[in-house]
């Protein structure tokens, strides 16, 4: 294993990980450090043929992997997870360089969570149980859990390692083999983590191909030997992938976008709610989070102190070099994403009655590319159906709206086509029970915003996706199939 980030970028120059080896690709693509604008390295730009090679390797390895006792597979995945934790600092340093996320507030935590998720799944081998069914006392009727075969796992750039772990951990423990398509924006930390894991896994059970979605991603999802697709990314690509799965009638899990509401009630603990707004909005990740609490509905009686306290807290966050230990907030991933965010904010700026408030100070360091650092931004006074209120911006931009009518705020919270997460801030058990039962979201919390727990299932309603990740339930439902056996 390499010891410095620069060595990592060189080691994985234009290669895929196939059958336990680094296999040179025929073409490459530049990976840019968003904080400096400089090229970090070249990753593989795999074509359909190279992608098929990874699927062949996964298919060849799967039967033997599935024939191991489930607990043994679990032990190997857990050992692989511990190896990741041992190399956490190097992986985090690579991740910070390719994603622009701050090393201290984001990247170290991401590696730790990824390792934790895989270790959790490593302990679940013996939970791959079926049932006996009381069908007829003179017959033995039972169900068993079988692996699906080769799983295609596609991850985005915003939290690539955690999303990798949520797919690869349960898929492997359940006896599948996996081909991961890494994000072309941020592939290197994924390659490093996977290669570290391979020291504990048989060749071929975990393969990584990198490339564009249009070529490599399409070749992967459409391949006849893929038995399951698990995808995290944008709604548009999710829709395309769902159709690809439908054409072959294979299961597809989708974790897509969100526009998660946060409802702060009159009786909320204000300090807690302000801290929750900052962590829920994922400002330290520049708001590039599917679960970002990007619509904050504050009771009219609290809106003035809420805005004051939120502004003070946001002004204290340091925007700067992702590798600097003092930095809280790094960069947007690329210029395209930054332009999209700026266009949304410009749309708010020209809306009558709306206010755009920016917080914090942009870094002036000569070595940093100025365009991809954005200030945390709060929008107020927007109409309820404004694009900034209804659509995922995927940037450090939250909408704050006042409310006084409880029924109306619940209906506003449910008014987008998303349904990933929601939170309610109240001291009343009655409000908590009522609102959580009525909010249309897959992950609803009271007095906190999302902290991923490997044992708690997570996934969206509506156009936020299909299926769950994390938890035993997700492993059983999404990475196994149930067989009924009747013995007369
Ligand atoms: P994206 O959809 O552009 O890309 C995601 C991945 O899909 C990349 O690896 C990309 O190469 C690949 N891809 C693109 N086209 C493909 C195709 N036709 N076939 C197969 N693969 C293809 O998303 P992104 O910009 O990388 O990530 C941001 C999006 O991800 C946001 O919308 C965000 O909400 C979502 N997201 C969701 C969750 C969740 O858990 N619900 C978590 C993180 C991010």
pLDDT digits (tens, 9 = 90+) for 151-204: 999 999 999 999 999 999 999 999 999 999 999 999 999 999 999 999 999 999
User: Which residue lies with its CA nearest to atom 14 of ligand 1?
Assistant: 213
pLDDT of 450 over the 80 cut: no
Mean confidence (pLDDT) of the chain: 97
DSSP-assigned letter for residue 344: H
Nearest CA to ligand 1 atom 41: 255
State the closest ligand 1 atom to the C-alpha of 458, by its place in the atom list counted from 1.
40
C-alpha 219/C-alpha 234 separation (Å) is 18
At 183 the pLDDT is: 98
Average pLDDT of the segment spanning 1-5: 78
Q: Express each pLDDT in 293-346 by its tens digit.
A: 999 999 999 999 999 999 999 999 999 999 999 999 999 999 999 999 999 999
Residue with the smallest CA separation from ligand 1 atom 17 is: 213
Distance CA 122, CA 154 (A): 21
Percentage of the chain beyond pLDDT 70 is: 99
Q: Is the CB of 217 inside a 6 Å radius of any atom of ligand 1?
A: yes
Residue 164 three-state SS: helix
From CA 19, how far away is CA 159, in angstroms rounded?
25
Q: Is 156 in the pocket of ligand 1 (CB under 6 A)?
A: yes
Catalytic (active-site) positions: 255
Cα(267) to ligand 1 centroid in Å equals 38
Model's pTM, two decimal places? Answer: 0.97
Give the other-Cβ count within 10 Å of 483's Cβ.
11
pLDDT tens digits, 74-94: 999 999 999 999 999 999 999
Task: Look up tokens 């032990």; give the residue.
Answer: 75
* pLDDT on residue 375: 98
User: Measuring from atom 6 of ligand 1, which residue has the nearest CA?
Assistant: 156
ipTM above 0.90, yes or no: yes
In angstroms, what is the span from residue 181 Cα to ligand 1's centroid?
A: 11
Q: Is the CB of 218 under 6 A from ligand 1?
A: yes
CA of 474 to the centre of ligand 1 (A): 20
Verify whether ligand 1 is closer than 6 Å to residue 183 (CB atom): yes
Q: Is 394 in the pocket of ligand 1 (CB under 6 A)?
A: yes
Residue 160 in contact with ligand 1 by CB distance below 6 A: no
CA angle in degrees (0–180, nearest 5) for 153-159-161: 60
- 159 Cα nearest atom in ligand 1: 43
- Can you spell out the DSSP letters for 93-136? HHHHHHH---IIIIIHHHHHHHHHHHHHHHTTGGG----B--S-
State the closest ligand 1 atom to the C-alpha of 240, by its place in the atom list counted from 1: 18
Mutate to test the pocket of ligand 1, among 167, 234, 289, 465 (most ligand atoms within 8 A of CB): 234
DSSP letter for 319, please: B
CA of 173 to the centre of ligand 1 (A): 24
């Amino acid at each position: 294993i390499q010891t410095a980030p620069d060595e990592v970028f060189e080691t994985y120059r234009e290669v895929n990980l196939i059958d336990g080896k680094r296999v040179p690709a025929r073409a490459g693509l530049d990976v840019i450090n968003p904080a400096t604008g400089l090229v970090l390295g070249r990753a593989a730009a795999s074509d359909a043929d190279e992608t098929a090679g990874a699927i062949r390797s996964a298919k060849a390895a799967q039967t033997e992997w599935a024939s191991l006792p489930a607990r043994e597979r679990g032990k190997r995945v857990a050992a692989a997870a511990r190896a990741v934790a041992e190399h956490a600092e190097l992986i985090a340093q690579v991740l910070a360089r390719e994603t622009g996320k701050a090393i201290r507030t984001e990247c170290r935590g991401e590696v730790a969570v990824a390792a934790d998720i895989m270790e959790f799944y490593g302990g679940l081998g013996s939970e791959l149980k079926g049932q006996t069914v009381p069908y007829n006392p003179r017959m033995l009727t039972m169900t068993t859990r079988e692996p699906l075969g080769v799983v295609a796992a596609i991850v985005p750039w915003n939290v690539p390692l955690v999303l990798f772990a949520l797919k690869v951990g349960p898929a492997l423990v359940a006896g599948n083999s996996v081909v991961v398509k890494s994000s072309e924006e941020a592939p290197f930390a994924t390659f490093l983590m996977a290669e570290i894991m391979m020291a504990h896994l048989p060749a071929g059970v975990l393969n990584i191909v990198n490339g564009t979605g249009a070529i490599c991603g399409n070749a992967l999802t459409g391949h006849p030997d893929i038995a399951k697709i698990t995808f995290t990314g944008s709604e548009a690509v999710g829709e395309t992938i769902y159709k690809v799965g439908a054409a072959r009638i294979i299961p597809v899990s989708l974790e897509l976008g969100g526009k998660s509401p946060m409802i702060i009630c009159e009786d909320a603990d204000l300090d807690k709610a302000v801290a929750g707004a900052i962590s829920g909005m994922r400002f330290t990740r520049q708001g590039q989070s599917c679960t970002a609490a990007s619509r904050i509905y504050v009771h009219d009686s609290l809106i003035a102190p809420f805005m004051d306290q939120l502004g003070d807290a946001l002004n204290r966050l340091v925007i700067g070099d992702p590798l600097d230990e003092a930095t809280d907030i790094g960069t947007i991933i690329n210029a395209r994403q930054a332009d999209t965010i700026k266009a949304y904010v410009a749309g708010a700026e020209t809306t009558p009655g709306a206010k755009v408030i920016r917080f914090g100070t942009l870094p002036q360091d000569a070595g940093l590319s100025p365009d991809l650092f954005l200030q945390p931004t709060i929008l107020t006074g927007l109409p309820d159906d404004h694009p900034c209120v209804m659509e995922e911006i995927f940037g450090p931009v939250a909408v704050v709206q006042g409310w006084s009518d409880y029924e109306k705020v619940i209906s506003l919270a449910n008014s987008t086509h998303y349904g990933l997460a929601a939170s309610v801030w109240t001291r009343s058990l009655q409000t908590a029970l009522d609102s959580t039962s009525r909010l249309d979201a897959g992950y609803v919390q009271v007095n906190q915003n999302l902290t991923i727990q490997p044992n708690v299932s997570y996934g969206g309603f509506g156009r936020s996706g299909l299926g769950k990740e994390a938890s035993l339930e997700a492993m059983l439902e999404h990475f196994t199939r149930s067989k009924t056996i009747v013995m007369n």
